[in-house]
Amino acid sequence: MAKIIDGRAVSANVKAEVAREAQALKAQGVAPGLAVVIVGDDPASRVYVNNKKKACELVGFLSEEYAMPASTTQAELMELVHKLNQDKKINGILVQLPLPKHLDEKAVIEAIDPVKDVDAFHASNVGKIMIGDYHFLPCTPAGVMELLKSENIEINGKECVVIGRSNIVGKPMAMLLLHQNGTVTICHSRTQNLKETCSRADILVAAVGIPKFVKADMVKEGAVVIDVGMDRDENGKLCGDVDFAQVEPKASYITPVPGGVGPMTIAMLMKNTLMAAKIQNGLT
């Protein structure tokens, strides 16, 4: 039977630490501020944005929301980003993705000042992660690393398999495991022998976006299984990329969905915003 890694508890600890540090910064006259930009009325994006606002309140950050209609033009959005880049109260800028189809996401991300890019999606921050010299880490993979750390799970020399190669999860996830001396394999939709490859993993991270994709026969006895997925099952219920009921008895550690990786993403966003405030005030 696996130990279930409690993402809510770890996330609460991270946020409490951020709140303590934010308090100390305030004593030095620095109040961290996050701007969240949402374009259109995607209900899932609305929930994420509300949660980010709540987290800011909890840790004592200033938060500003910019809700723009779905008809917003590229020029209008770019103008807002440029304005926020100049705004001294704002240390972190987060543009909630996905943007409506007519907008160029890449251009918007590249317009964000890299020192305010608390999602760590800007090419400059991605490059820094690649060379292992970074201030910001993308929130979801950073959250996974924090969960592994919370259980003192050894990565050094371990076989790590990441399923998924997206820019926001799979690729940076693999890089962070590599920085901790894991032997990392990245799998994707063209991977041959997926089952055999996954079965070798001491640490298996699933970021596929297919409900209950990882079955027991893909998991080594005693593996650590991290489920990044946020999917809906056949009844519309939130579930992960891992078939929890099948896999849990074989794993040594496993993250549940909900309550695993999900709560970590926002906690790491708060950590990045704190770091951004420190950098911009010469406190690092």
Binding site for ligand NAP (CB under 6 A): 140, 163-166, 168-170, 187-191, 194, 207-210, 228-231, 241, 261-262, 265
Q: To the nearest whole angstrom, how small is the minimum distance from the Cβ of residue 282 to ligand NAP?
A: 31
Choose the catalytic residue: 116, 117, 119, 220.
119
Give the integer Cα–Cα distance in Å for 146 and 15. 12
Is residue 119 annotated as part of the catalytic site, yes or no? yes
Q: To the nearest whole angstrom, how small is the minimum distance from the Cβ of residue 151 to ligand NAP?
A: 18
Q: To the nearest whole angstrom, how small is the minimum distance from the Cβ of residue 189 to ligand NAP?
A: 3
Q: Is 29 left (phi over 0), alpha (psi -120 to 50) or beta?
A: left
CA distances for 99 relative to 69, 84, 104, 261, angstroms: 11, 18, 8, 23
Q: To the nearest whole angstrom, how small is the minimum distance from the Cβ of residue 201 to ligand NAP?
A: 14
Which residue, 241 or 243, is less far from ligand NAP as judged by CB? 241
| Nearest-CB residue for ligand NAP | 166
Q: To the nearest whole angstrom, how small is the minimum distance from the Cβ of residue 139 to ligand NAP?
A: 7
Q: To the nearest whole angstrom, how small is the minimum distance from the Cβ of residue 165 to ligand NAP?
A: 4
Which residue, 32 or 240, is less far from ligand NAP as judged by CB? 240
Residues 91 and 62: beta-carbon distance below 8 Å: no
Choose the catalytic residue: 15, 96, 171, 220.
96
Q: Which one-letter DSSP state was computed for residue 193?
A: S
Which residue, 165 or 179, is less far from ligand NAP as judged by CB? 165
Give the integer Cα–Cα distance in Å for 109 and 277. 19
- Which stretches does DSSP call E strand in the chain? 3-4, 33-39, 62-68, 92-95, 159-163, 183-187, 203-206, 224-227, 231-232, 238-239, 253-254
Question: Angle 252-258-264 (CA atoms, 0-180°, nearest 5)?
Answer: 80
| Residue carrying the six token digits 């317009």 | 111
Give the integer Cα–Cα distance in Å for 275 and 11. 17
Which residue, 80 or 161, is less far from ligand NAP as judged by CB? 161
Q: Decide: residue 239, CB within 10 A, 0-12 exposed, 13-18 middle, 19+ buried.
A: buried
Give the integer Cα–Cα distance in Å for 109 and 35. 14
Is residue 52 annotated as part of the catalytic site, yes or no? yes
Residues 5 and 257: beta-carbon distance below 8 Å: no
Residues 37 and 95: beta-carbon distance below 8 Å: yes
Which residue, 28 or 50, is less far from ligand NAP as judged by CB? 50
Which residue, 227 or 280, is less far from ligand NAP as judged by CB? 227
Q: Which of 122, 111, 22, 120 is nearest to 63 (CA)?
A: 22
Choose the catalytic residue: 52, 116, 220, 278.
52
Which active-site residues does the annotation give? Answer: 52, 96, 119
